[in-house]
Structure 1
């Protein structure tokens, strides 16, 4: 207990009960200013470290542990997968392979009612698997497929909804840097998280495709049948030559992880080399393309690592002022036990998804929830929790009016498309994501089946 005298009054307070909530509140206020997240985390950590030392709550030697923790992060082999997967996705994107993939699948499915929209879902899932970043996938799909869908006479809301929803698949479809980061923060095998997210990811993509088939059958005016003459004669050999290489690359990366012959980092490196090889075969590899891809890889990786270092400093100081104990006590005493904890934590993550990117959530919120999750749910349920968090954030990034995916699509969509049309198009897919999320919550075996099968 500390006593302070001000204006003739003596104020007594427990610094442990005050500093923790104040530090978290200060972080939220600073984040809302729009200042870079990494510096917000680090700055708040330094400020409250001085306050904690001044009040005698934190020993100075405690702060000296920070360099060792940073060195531990620098030596984390798993995190090397981040630049590898970013490079792979960016190379497939920059070299034009993604555009040709959409064109070929659109030609293959063009005669099907709503075939172009289904092609967008399929290609969106493939791009999501390679990039794992919502911004990259939604922007790419918006630039490539939106003009083609509008030219074909598709309803604007349906077209924008399909693109935005397909772009969010990168949160849950492996391999992606989102799952790599989440696995590292949860302290679980990234390979197990990849395996656990396969079925839920396919369920999400399947639900989107099924919705397109049903809605276009019930309302044919939403997706006019394409002219056979405009589509031209399908050259199956050329289509297969376009589809098989990138699909084979993704299966090679995933297969090497699932079989156990490569770690996620090694598989990511294999994928990056394979993307260069495919770009060269398709005539999309050049010095300028390589420069652009390397620049994007460095930018994304630097952003992620900067946030990770800032969050490490924040969590260390937060733990030093016993803020983590307050959080754990709050979560353990929630009404409803396990269900109450899951409902509360999912609501918090869903709301955070409106305002900050996945990486910030993974580095700030997930470590605070993890100790309680292990105590209430058990260590064996952490893989399931990771997949649920990914699916939850996928829904958050698509939900109007704050969903990040909607903002990214708004940035590349023609001015003739209104924001209201984008929001209305996203709502049915939000409903589908919520439905799949509820299924995952109700039937945890959908997540645990493949990891258990791998170890049996």
Structure 2
């Protein structure tokens, strides 16, 4: 019976989640009930639950996690400053004369917003409101238009500064230290969020290239699905137009350089860079005359809501993780993954498959806080590079925003899309982009240097 307790705990949490209870309370509450039951039956090591106050205190005093509210503040403030609106209008005029040009413009803007805001919901909603009606008016295939907007909006999950990379950095750092302790190694070495940011740059840009390549392919083989703007409606690309392009691109690019550049050159930690981004977002909002007391109040309120949600889930997941280990669940996972055929390759493949399937029903935050602390120490103890593993997980989690039926990007777009765009068309439209992300995972598996070379080159 004792051996079944970790399995029963996982099943019970899944059942409570399916009943519709909040994730954080489901994780923490179910775990505590199982801890009481295990204590009564003599199956539970109470030393783990005694470590809970220190674990919660560690979460609340973790300096790395200060970056979460700062990056959220930056993203929400930029959402209110009309940066996205100006970018979309200008890029549409720039690429519109090409077949598939509107789709390419959405992808480019998605990349720029990802590198300056990182808020998936705000990006998808904004582009859905501004670009989707225009694309439909220009006779774009609804599936292609919807899929491009959904996929481009999720780039904020992998292109830094990404909140998922901040959270993964903290969780993987704890997993890395646990793996070292399990191997009898005592080292202060951790997984740096900055390393994850740098490691994700090349894969993120390759994803953008993949999205644009798909749009070019559609333009070549299905030109009627992505027509160009008629010649009579195209703007003249004169000096005045290019001045407008520079004026629109310069502010977000300056913010990107300030945030990422300070990290890449070692001038600031990710947390310090997040504060630079927050101040930069305030200045951008002020320059667009969108900064007032009402806007600031709304941004702070939204930042508080999102941050509270993240930390509450983090605490609930910490309780679940401790109770799971108290029942010996970590040893069960270690034995299972170690006995798989194919060794390390088989273990990584299974974990990636499970995360991909969980993405159909769970949000990336739950997967990060629940699954990664369980499997992370085991995989890292097998000798995997933590930066490579973190980038692999981040791209895998990115697909959770696109996979039906519960992909959040699909919900965001469905909420703002015109009635004539059917849900089935949105699902159909994201399928090629899910395939591109899976191909990116395969490329990372075959060529780990895509994630590890740049951090090594910078810190060499």
| Interval of TM-score (by shorter of Structure 1 and Structure 2) | over 0.9
State the secondary structure of the residue aligned to 1:243.
helix
Does residue 427 of the first structure (1) align with residue 431 of the second (2)?
yes
CA contact (8 A) 1:161 1:425 kept: yes
C-alpha deviation, 1:408, in angstroms: 2.1
Aligned to 1:3: none
Gaps of 5+ in 1: 1-12
Taking the aligned partners of 1:42 and 1:359, their CA distance within structure 2 comes to: 15
Structure-1 residue corresponding to 2:169:
183
Alignment-derived partner of residue 9 in structure 1: none
Contact 1:132 1:178 in 2 (8 A): no
Equivalent-residue separation in structure 2 for 1:259 and 1:339 (angstroms): 34
| 279-288 or 444-453: bigger deviation | 279-288
SS state at 1:341 partner: helix
Instruction: Provide Cα deviations, 1:206-256, integer angstroms capped at 9, x if missing partner.
Output: 110111122112222112221344343342112211111112101210010
**Residue 140 (structure 1) aligned to one of 96, 112, 126:** 126
Tell me the distance in 1 between the aligned counterparts of 2:130 and 2:70: 24
Offset at residue 62 of structure 1 (A): 4.0
The 1:231/1:296 distance shift into structure 2, 3 A limit, reads farther
1:257 to 237, 240, 263: 263
Give the alignment's TM-score, normalised by structure 2. 0.93
1:410-442 per-residue CA deviation (whole Å, 9 max, x = no partner) reads 122111111121122112222222222211111
Determine the structure 1 residue equivalent to 2:206: 203
State which drifts further: 266-275 or 109-118. 109-118
Give me the whole-angstrom Cα distance separating, in 2, the residues matched to 1:19 and 1:136. Answer: 41
Does residue 452 of the first structure (1) align with residue 446 of the second (2)?
no
Shift of 1:359: 0.7
Q: Which of residues 87, 91, 104 is equivalent to 2:90?
A: 104
Is the partner of 1:415 in helix, strand or coil?
coil
CA distance, structure 2, for counterparts of residue 46 and residue 61 of structure 1: 14
Shift of 1:134: 2.9
The separation in 1 between residues aligned to 2:4 and 2:430, in whole angstroms, is 41
The equivalent of 1:4 in structure 2 is: none
In structure 1, the partner of 2:411 is 407
Structure 2 match to 1:5: none
Distance in 1 separating the partners of 2:38 and 2:243: 68
Question: Taking structure 1 as reference, are residues 59 and 157 closer, same or farther at Cα in structure 2, changes over 3 Å only?
Answer: closer
Query: Is residue 2:299 matched to residue 1:293?
Result: yes
Q: How much has 1:143 moved relative to structure 2?
A: 1.5
Aligned to 1:10: none
Answer yes or no: is the 8 Å Cα contact 2:363–2:400 preserved in 1. no
Which of residues 51, 56, 63 in structure 2 aligns to 1:65?
Answer: 51
2:316 paired residue number: 310
Q: Shift in Å at residue 57 of structure 1?
A: 2.9
- d(CA) in 1 for partners of 2:35, 2:313: 18
- The answer as to whether partners of 2:46 and 2:326 remain within 8 angstroms in 1 is no
Question: Equivalent residue for 2:76?
Answer: 90
Q: Is residue 2:376 matched to residue 1:376?
A: no
Asked whether the equivalents of residues 311 and 364 of structure 1 are also in contact (C-alpha less than 8 Å), the reply is yes
Tell me by how many angstroms 1:60 deviates.
4.5
Q: What's the C-alpha RMSD, in Å, of the aligned pairs?
A: 1.5
SS where residue 342 of structure 1 aligns? helix
The residue correspondences of 1:303-382 to structure 2 (distance < 5 A) are 303-378=309-384, 381-382=385-386
Distance 2:287 2:412 in 1: 31
Residue 147 of structure 2 contacts residue 430 of structure 2 at CA under 8 Å; is this kept in 1? Answer: yes
DSSP 3-state at the match of 2:15: helix
Checking the alignment, whether the CA contact within 8 Å between 1:95 and 1:289 is kept in structure 2 is no
Tell me how far apart the structure 2 counterparts of residues 214 and 104 of structure 1 sit (CA, whole Å): 23
Deviations 1:383-405 (A, max 9, x none): 10111111112234323444332
Q: Distance in 2 between matches of 1:131 and 1:52?
A: 45
Q: Measure the CA separation in 2 of the matches of 1:329 and 1:294.
A: 46
- 8 Å CA contact 2:114–2:155 kept in 1: the answer is yes
* Between 276-285 and 124-133, the greater mean CA deviation after superposition: 124-133
Conservation of the 8 A alpha-carbon contact between 1:130 and 1:176: no
Question: Helix, strand or coil for the counterpart of 1:283?
Answer: coil
TM-superposed deviation, 1:59: 5.0
TM-score, normalized by length of structure 1?
A: 0.93
| Contact 2:364-2:400 within 8 A present in 1 as well | no
The count of residues paired between Structure 1 and Structure 2 equals 440
CA distance, structure 2, for counterparts of residue 427 and residue 49 of structure 1: 42
In structure 2, the gaps of 5 or more residues are: 174-190
Please report how far the alpha carbon of residue 321 of structure 1 lies from its aligned counterpart in structure 2 after TM superposition: 1.5
* SS of equivalent to 1:377: coil
